[in-house]
Amino acid sequence: MGKLDGFDYIKPNDIEEACKIMAQEGKSIKPFAGGTDLMVQMRAGKIKPELLMDIKGLRLDKIQYLPENKISIGALSTINSIIESELIRSKFPFIIEAAEEMASVQIRNRGTVGGNLCNAAPSADLAQPILATGGIAKVVGENGSREMDLDDFFIGPGKTALSSKEILTEIILDELPEYSGTAYIRLKRNAMDLALAGVATVVTIDEEGKCISAKIVLGAVGPTPIIAEEAANSLIETKLDKLAIEKAASIAEDLSKPIDDVRTNAWYRKKAVKNLTIKALELANRRAAEQLNANTKGGQTI
């Protein structure tokens, strides 16, 4: 393990101050949120920032309901604050499922949503349900603020569409339509391990139980989370029966681009993607059907 030295530290009190620092500084800057990824990488000598900009003073930790059926999650919301949020639990239960899979209580108390997304590990657990939900990322930096579609956020392992002088401030997710079910399932070797493969799904059904929209996002089986559009589209207009689900899972397997690494090999990951996709779709469909059933009495919609 390397020594943690050779860098400066600064802690702005608000966004304006952070933007000024990013605009003026000639040094290589790294935003520092919970530090649970950053410190490990710095100690291993993988990154050597000249300036650590501690962003914990920026008050970006709100989780709130917005007009037009949108939900905002501040980038500095900790993983545990996600787990404790009734709003997230009721609107996006699969984000809770992903958060509960992550690390330990101690890491979840420090680690943030923004850090998990901006670190851009292909195995990042929150990336998959967040991408499957859809919405936008809000960013500020040396050139002011901008918004980007979450679909465009990840560009490679450890790389996002943010410049080195921008910070993520919040993500704004679209509330799911009625009769939507979600699920996140991942495979790991032991309790504290990163995912070998993970799948997040959303399915929305109509009153006959037919699928009217679907999203499938695969994690840890490509350089970025993979939005398996072709697999999801194959489910539209089906009753999400065994055949339809297995077909979508086979397409998802074909779309995955896993590698061999210390945790497992590419062949195993491909098989895992297929099985996880089947399980996640079955679970999401069951949850959507439960909502539909809860809204009907004696076969009539109430």
Using CB under 6 A, list all residues that contact ligand FAD: 30-38, 40, 55, 75, 79, 102-103, 107, 110-112, 114-116, 118-119, 124-125, 162, 167-168, 192, 194
Q: How far is the CB of 71 from ligand FAD (least distance, A)?
A: 18
Q: How far is the CB of 47 from ligand FAD (least distance, A)?
A: 7
197 vs 248, which CB is nearer to ligand FAD?
Answer: 197
Q: How far is the CB of 172 from ligand FAD (least distance, A)?
A: 14
Q: Tokens 């397409």 belong to which residue?
A: 251
Which residue's beta carbon is nearest to the bound ligand FAD? 115
Instruction: Provide the β-strand partners of residue 53.
Output: 10, 31
How do 29-32 and 51-54 pair as beta strands?
Answer: parallel
21 vs 168, which CB is nearer to ligand FAD?
Answer: 168
- The residues, any chain, with a CB within 8 Å of residue 268's CB and separated by 6 or more, are 196
Element counts in the chain: helices (H) and strands (E) = 11, 16
Cβ neighbours of 280 (radius 10 Å)? 31
What's the Cα-to-Cα distance from 131 to each of 4, 96, 227, 231, 297, rounded to whole Å? 34, 14, 8, 15, 34
**Tokens at 193, concatenated:** 């391990």
- The residues, any chain, with a CB within 8 Å of residue 86's CB and separated by 6 or more, are none
168 vs 283, which CB is nearer to ligand FAD?
Answer: 168
Q: How far is the CB of 275 from ligand FAD (least distance, A)?
A: 20
Q: How far is the CB of 179 from ligand FAD (least distance, A)?
A: 29
35 vs 223, which CB is nearer to ligand FAD?
Answer: 35
31 vs 129, which CB is nearer to ligand FAD?
Answer: 31
